[in-house]
Amino acid sequence: MIKFNLITALFVALLAACNSGLTGEAKIKLESSARDVKNEILKIKKEATGKGVNFEAFTDSATGSKVSNGRTVLREAKVQAISAIKKFLKTIEEESVKLKESGSNGQFLAMFDLMLETVGSLEAVGIKGVKGNVSEKAKNNPVDTAERVMEVKVQIENKLEEVRRKQGLDDGDKKEKKQKHK
């Protein structure tokens, strides 16, 4: 009986190890990319703080230049952070495509968890709600396939594009285009 329990326990442990989380090159690449992005966002925040942005003034609902004294510096910091996250999302896409045929549900769930963790770092520069929005949408439909990882990636990109547009830094481009047409 002890022998049978031992064999069963080993089998369950082996099955769990094969079915959970990222491994090997994919794990190293994604975790490294996530770490780099988080560090870059912290660096962006530090630089913006040095230029007068008061991140401590942010509240749950107010994360703009009106409460932080940052104006253009804060807007630029948010756009830089979005660019950093987009690099990470590109890496997610590449690894998701590689794992599409042979990846396990656990690997895709681990990718999703890493995406949430990394996107959550945007809150440091005042970009709030992305993580909550994505995780809320994933409650009823788990992110356990390559297709679902790609859907979430697109959701994040769409939300970030909306935030980027709100920063108003593209207004200069629009004004230039209008002047060229006159």
- Dump pLDDT digits (tens) for 92-127: 999 999 998 888 999 999 999 999 999 999 998 988
Query: The tokens of 143 are what?
Result: 């992110």
Span 89-93, average pLDDT: 96
What is each CA distance from 120 to 28, 75, 129, 132, 155, in whole angstroms?
20, 18, 9, 9, 14
Q: Does residue 70 carry a pLDDT above 70?
A: no
Fold classification of 23-169 (topology level): A middle domain of Talin 1 (1.20.1420)
Of residues 85, 87, 107, the one with CA closest to residue 98: 107
